[in-house]
Amino acid sequence: MTREQLLRILVIGFIIISIIAIVAALAVTFVTRIGKVELNIVVAPSDSTITLDGEQISAGKIYVTSGDHTLVASHQYFTDDTYAFNTNDIDTSQTIYLLPTPTDEGMNWLLENTNAQLEREAAAGAQNAIEQEALTKSYPIVSKLPYKTTDYRIDYGFNQDGTIFFKITLTPPNAVAEGTDFYYQTLREYKTAALNFLTKNGVNTSTVQITFTPDPDQ
């Protein structure tokens, strides 16, 4: 066997071994991901420490078992951002953004690290867009609010538990003496019109929180 033939055999053998190693690695990766859910994690500042159920991980794509989990992002001079979730209750196609909150020292740190501040602003903007999209899916009417007519104005907000509420401001009727029966009758007509607008736009007015100012029925 010539030296050239031996070298060719070695090269072919190396290629075969490399292919086998790659296939084996892919197989191991595939097996370890069977039955798991893929998530994409973004953290800002990007050098924050991330843990999943107490185990340190890196940002980017991760694979978790179905069920309950807790992500925590921490950074010096920042308050931890904790996200507890169940994979069955979230849209796993959406990126999860972890944004530790800066303390006073953290604000100074951000002033000295402008790239980190830009990262936070970009991540916060993307997170807000996702939340707004989810909100619009749940309550399509929010894309039309605030809504104002000559008789009433409808605004919305959120309670601490994340539930939505609507605030309806009725316009006092002109040329009508306040406190008279006709005054309250007119306000009730405005109230009914506002409730009809909500109903036509998919709001269940019997279950959602609604406040009226003034309220002719109180």
Task: Over range 149-178, report the average pLDDT.
Answer: 90
Contacts (Cβ under 8 Å, ≥6 apart) of 153: 146, 147, 168, 169, 171
Question: What is the value of pTM for the model shown?
Answer: 0.59
The rounded distance, in Å, linking the Cα atoms of 137 and 40 is 22
Contacts (Cβ under 8 Å, ≥6 apart) of 19: none
* 3-state class percentages of the chain: helix first, strand second, coil last, to nearest 5: 40, 30, 30
Task: Over range 148-175, report the average pLDDT.
Answer: 90
Return the amino acid letter for 207: T
| 213 pLDDT above the threshold of 90 | yes
Whole-number pLDDT of residue 29: 46
Q: By the 8 A CB rule, do 130 and 94 touch?
A: yes
